[in-house]
Amino acid sequence: MKMKNLFDLNSFSGKIIDDESDLIPLMTSDDEEAINKEKLPKSLSILPLKNTVLFPGVVIPITATRNKSVKLIKASNKGDKLVGVVSQINHKVLDPKLEDINNIGTVAKILRVLQMPDGNLTIIIQGKKRFKIKKIISEKPFLKADIIEINEIKPQKNDKKYNATIDSIKDLALKIIDENPNIPSEASIAIKNIQSNSFLVNFVSSNMNISVSEKYKILQIDDHQNRAIECLKYMNIEFQKLTLKNDIQSKVRNDLDQQQREYFLNQQLKTIQEELGNSSNQKDIEEIKSKAGVKKWNLQVKEHFEKELLKLQRINTQMAEYSIQRNYIDLLLDLPWNEFSQDNYNLKNASRILNKDHFGLKEVKERI
Query: Is-contact 322 305, C-beta < 8 A?
Result: no
pLDDT at 212: 93
pLDDT of residue 16: 45
207 and 300 both lie in a single domain: no
Question: Would residue 152 count as lying in a domain?
Answer: yes
**Structural domain containing residue 331:** 277-368
**Beta carbons of 134 and 147 less than 8 angstroms apart:** yes
238 and 282 belong to one structural domain: no
Average pLDDT over residues 94-111: 92
Are 218 and 365 within one domain? no
| pLDDT value for 172 | 93
Does any domain span residue 262? no
- In this structure, the answer to whether residues 188 and 71 fall within a common structural domain is yes
What pLDDT was estimated at residue 340? Answer: 73
**Highest mean pLDDT: which of 168-172, 251-255, 300-304?**
168-172
User: Is 251 a member of any domain?
Assistant: no
Find the helix packing angle between 320-334 and 299-314, rounded to 10°.
160
The answer for residues whose C-beta is within 8 angstroms of residue 200's C-beta and 6 or more apart is 166, 169, 170, 191, 194
Domain stops at, among 243, 263, 289 = 243
- Contact (Cβ atoms closer than 8 angstroms) between residue 84 and residue 131: yes
The fraction of the chain above a pLDDT of 70, given in percent, is 83
Single out the residue of 303, 323, 304, 307 nearest to residue 315, CA to CA: 323
DSSP string, 58-70: -EEEEEE-SHHHH
| Length in residues, the chain | 368
The pLDDT value recorded for residue 366 is: 67
Instruction: Give the range among 98-107, 162-171, 266-275 with minimum mean pLDDT.
Output: 266-275
In a domain, 256, yes or no: no
Residue 165 has pLDDT above 90, yes or no: yes
Assess whether 194 and 341 both reside in one domain: no
Q: Total domain count for the chain? A: 2
Q: Are residues 232 and 285 in the same domain?
A: no
The model's pLDDT over 51-63, given as tens digits with 9 standing for 90+, comes to 899 999 999 998 8
pTM listed for this prediction? 0.63
Give residue 360's pLDDT band: very low, low, confident or very high (50, 70, 90).
Answer: low
- Judged by average pLDDT, the poorest of 125-134, 232-241, 343-352 is 343-352
Q: How far apart are CA 2 and CA 144, in angstroms?
A: 32
Q: What is the CATH number of the domain that holds 86?
A: 2.30.130.40
H or E stretch at 228: helix 224-275
Q: Are residues 292 and 159 in the same domain?
A: no
Residue 326 lies in a domain: yes
Kindly state whether residue 289 falls inside one of the protein's structural domains.
yes
If we measure between CA atoms, which residue out of 368, 83, 91, 306 comes closest to residue 213? 91
> Within this chain, do residues 299 and 341 fall inside the same structural domain, yes or no?
yes
Task: For residue 272, tell me if it sits in a domain.
Answer: no
Q: Are residues 160 and 284 in the same domain?
A: no
